[in-house]
Structure 1
Amino acid sequence: MITALALLSLGIVSEGNTSFLIILVLFIIYGIFNTAMGSHQWIDPYELFPTHVRSTGGGLLLQ
């Protein structure tokens, strides 16, 4: 949600005469939240499987 709002704001302000600092801050907000939320796709699948088959199950899900 925050990444979508940051990208929407970037699209709106990029057409006008906006300062570079505002565009930079919006892009940093997008980058931080995109990186933070993107890491869950590598953590959550492994939590679905019991410990003794976790690596096999995670490998099958991420292919």
Structure 2
Amino acid sequence: MPERNARLRAELGSMKDRLAVVERIVTDESHALNREIERLRGPANWRAPRSAREKSHESV
């Protein structure tokens, strides 16, 4: 039981660290601006990343 408790505490610590990283990404102002730009573009204006567009031209 003590080993399981220690393992779970270590896992919880790791999850807290990962959550902190996700929170920084989501609250980053430049990330929010990029999300807003993409939202305004909407699905009809979505463009594939350049590398994907180049690949589609190669297959034609």
TM-score using structure 2 length: 0.44
TM-score using structure 1 length: 0.42
Q: Point out which structure has higher relative CO (alpha carbons under 8 A, 6+ apart).
A: 1
